[in-house]
Each structure stands twice: as structure tokens, then as C-alpha cells.
Amino acid sequence: MKFVVRPMHIVSVGGYIVETQFPYRNLIVVNPTEEPIKIDIPVFTEDWIEEHRKLGLEITPITEEDSFLRNFRKAKIKLEKLKEEKKLKNE
């Protein structure tokens, strides 16, 4: 199955992780490009991360010890700064 991450958007795919041996409880996915990017779901292996990074996505794996909210906010702030930079370039 595929899921589309819209341009300049952020999503969490924790609900699509189905492998019980997967080392992360969640993945934050940021599309910093101006094009929509399709991702494969559900997530089964760690190889998924590198395969999708090659598409231009920024992936932040979240372990049990990590704060999802803190990492999501960091990624969101970074994405908002990128949006502002692109907006200024286009003016």
C-alpha cells in the first residue's frame, strides 16, 4: 500500500509499523521537497528508513526512550523555517 506525503508536510507513521521486532516505536517523516512523495506502508524493516531517505524524505526514528512530541516539534520547526526560506526566495 502507498501513502502520499504532501510537499512541505510532516507525518507520523507509528500506526503503520507492524513488525514486533522493529526497533522503533514511531517514525517522523518530513517531505522538505516541493513534490508529493509516495511512501510504502506498512513499515516492516529498518531498510524502509534508508530507502525512503533516498527519495528525499527526512526520517526521524523514535525509540522507547525518545520523546515523540519533542522530536516532532523539532522537525516541525525545521520544516517551518524551510517554508519561510522558500517563501522569501520566491518573492
More confident residue, 87 or 80: 80
Report how many domains make up the chain: 1
Range of the domain at 84: 2-90
Q: Which three cell numbers stand for residue 30?
A: 518530513
- How many beta carbons lie within 10 A of that of residue 72, not counting itself? 18
3-class secondary-structure state, position 2: strand
pTM: 0.90
Residues 49, 59 contacting (CB under 8 angstroms): yes
Beta strands in 13-79 (DSSP E): 26-31, 37-40, 58-62
Q: Using one digit for the tens of pLDDT, what is the confidence trace for 14-60?
A: 888 887 788 999 999 999 999 999 999 999 889 999 999 999 999 99
Compute φ and ψ for 63, nearest 5 degrees.
-95, 180
